[in-house]
Structure 1
Amino acid sequence: MRTSIEVLRAFLWKEAVVLRTDRMVLPYLVAFPLIMAALLSSAFGKIPGVGNGANQAVPGFAVMFAFYGITFLGISHYREHGWGVWTVVRASGLPRPLLLCGVVLPYFVLGVVQFAITLTIGWAAYGMQVTGSVAAFALTVLSTELAIIGVAVVLLNVTSHMSSMQQANHVVVLVGAAASGALLPYQTMPTAVQVLAHATPQFWALQAMKGICSRHLGVAGVLPDVAVLLGMGAVLLTIGVSAFDPARSRRIALR
């Protein structure tokens, strides 16, 4: 057991070094949602029923771009296959759940950091309100990231090369953002889209975050949304971990 933990620690350290050397990842995940929020907060505030536009724009774009973390996770994993690193990792003898833990845990942490920076700047500089509790925000962020990692593991299982992973995640990001109210306020969406939104993790994350911003929700108030996010994450991870084949060939290119 101790040997497995030491190998996993080395694996996680390797992923952290890769993330640190790729200097565009965190700026992309933080800068773009803040730019979008700066451009659209005022416009959102003019829509009836929205109130403070920053309460819509900052959480909305933070959630939307958090799902792009899946793309970077996929790029990292497919590079490992292309460069032959994954063969070495497999030779370590780590069981399948720990192998996947080494793949996804750095990106879970990255996502939490992305949310923390984006939401803090949104509150300090954009006028986003926090009428509820910070603890409720933290709980919502952690459960949202669990759901995101669940989606990532499923996408790793249904794709076989880097391009297909990126394309599949674009669909997840854009459809989820459009349906859930991350791109535009939920109440402006057609009824059919509002129904579809309930099937997306983005919807439940935004329900909780906007409630914390505008409706004084504390930990108890966000528990229903958090429970759905945790349920989604648990189901997706169970499916993804059980289907994951470490020996499966994966390619960087479409050949």
Structure 2
Amino acid sequence: MRPEPAAAGAAPAHRTWVMTRHTLVLLIRDPGTPLAYTVMSLVLLSVLHPVYDRLATPGTAGIVQAAPGIAVMFTLLALDVAGQLLLSERTWHTWDRLRSGPASLAAILAGKALPLIALFLTQQSVLFLFATAAFGFPLTAGTWRLPLLALLWAACVTSCGLALGVHARTQGQLAAASDIGALTITCLSGCLVPLTVLPHWVSTVAPATPGYWALHGFQAAVTGDTPAYTHSTAVIAAITAAALLASGRRIRR
């Protein structure tokens, strides 16, 4: 008997929910790394906030540079959390069973990605709320632009982390790729130190990093620079799509 349209549509959604619930259980059982990154971001913001005030361009509050930069930095450092979810399935020898089940590739990736996006959104929200309460970050000036960019950036980091998890063969490879990549992007994008005080060549290569566009997108969100915000969101969305495509092609192979 052919399933009813509602039932047929409900099956993929149910499989996605099952994958999402499974991923949530894995994250809840080992919350140490995300929690540590969140606390470390608050500590680093508190320590470096005065430095950013001195380095900020005239007419711009240092917290507008500091809070987005540190938010981008510690979200990038959590790349290994995303990659670990797929690598663990392979090291536990459950990946083949997962792929041979009724869940589609899209359902598997969505089930892995949704809890991670929620995790990264929470991490960014805690930092921005802390920056607003403690240092006067203009949170309300971001209106709808700030949460939208936070969502896009969370999806971008999630997709890049999943791509690393698909391509890495060992825990060591994943850790090296995620840590070195996160630190390199953080330094080259101006998230940790403003580009104005770095060597000139860093400013030249900075636009090649996703962190650069996330940083400038967050800043444009609160300053009301619509062209810069639109450009940043478009680039981040393109990077997200490319990472998901790379993950899907690797999984099929």
Match of 2:30 in 1: 22
Structure 1: distance between partners of 2:221 and 2:110: 31
1:26 and 1:236 mapped to 2: Cα distance?
22
> How many Å separate the matches in 2 of 1:8 and 1:150?
16
Residue number in structure 1 paired with 2:234: 227
Instruction: Give the drift of 1:168.
Output: 0.3
CA distance in 1, matches of 2:203, 2:167: 27
Looking at structure 1, the residues matched to 19 and 137 of structure 2 have their Cα atoms a distance apart, in angstroms, of 38
Are the structure 2 counterparts of residues 27 and 126 from structure 1 closer, same or farther at C-alpha, using a change threshold of 3 Å?
A: farther
For 2:85 and 2:163, the matched residues in 1 are separated by 16
Match of 1:39 in 2: 47
CA distance in 1, matches of 2:232, 2:153: 10
**Percent identity of paired positions between Structure 1 and Structure 2:** 21
Aligned-residue offset at 1:110: 0.9
Q: Which of residues 82, 95, 101 is equivalent to 1:86?
A: 95
Q: Does 1:174 align with 2:183?
A: yes
**C-alpha deviation, 1:221, in angstroms:** 5.5
How many Å separate the matches in 2 of 1:242 and 1:80? 17
Counterpart of 2:243 in structure 1 is 236
Q: CA deviation at 1:199?
A: 1.0
| 1:191 CA displacement | 2.0
Q: 8 Å contact 1:74–1:166 — kept in the other structure? A: no
Contact 1:201/1:232 (<8 A) preserved: yes
Counterpart residue number, 1:54: 63
Give the TM-score normalised by structure 2.
0.87
Task: Tell me the distance in 2 between the aligned counterparts of 1:21 and 1:239.
Answer: 29
Question: What's 1:122 paired with?
Answer: 131
Q: Tell me if the contact between 1:132 and 1:217 (Cα under 8 Å) persists in the aligned partners.
A: no
Report the equivalent of 1:188. 197
Which blocks of at least 5 consecutive residues in structure 2 are unaligned? 1-7
Could you tell me which runs of 5 or more consecutive residues in structure 1 were left unpaired when the two chains were aligned. Answer: 247-255
What is the match of residue 135 of structure 1? Answer: 144
Deviation of 1:147 (Å): 1.9
Report the Cα offset of residue 67 of structure 1. 1.4
Task: Give the aligned partner of residue 99 of structure 1.
Answer: 108
* Residues matched between the structures, number: 244
Question: 2:5 aligns to what?
Answer: none
Aligned to 1:251: none
Counterpart code for 1:242: R
Partner letter of residue 7 of structure 1? R
Q: Within 1, Cα distance between the matches of 2:31 and 2:145?
A: 30
Residues 17 and 131 (structure 1), Cα distance of their counterparts in 2 relative to 1, 3 Å cut: closer
Query: RMSD of aligned C-alpha atoms?
Result: 2.1
> Does the 8 Å CA contact 2:188/2:205 hold for their aligned counterparts?
yes
What residue number does 1:149 align with?
158
Q: CA deviation at 1:232?
A: 1.5
What are the Cα deviations for residues 50-70 of structure 1, in whole angstroms up to 9, with x where unaligned?
Answer: 642222221111111111222
- Residues 182-209 of structure 1 deviation map (CA, whole Å, 9 limit, x = unaligned): 1101222222111211011110111121
1:4 CA displacement: 3.3
Determine whether 1:65 maps to 2:74.
yes
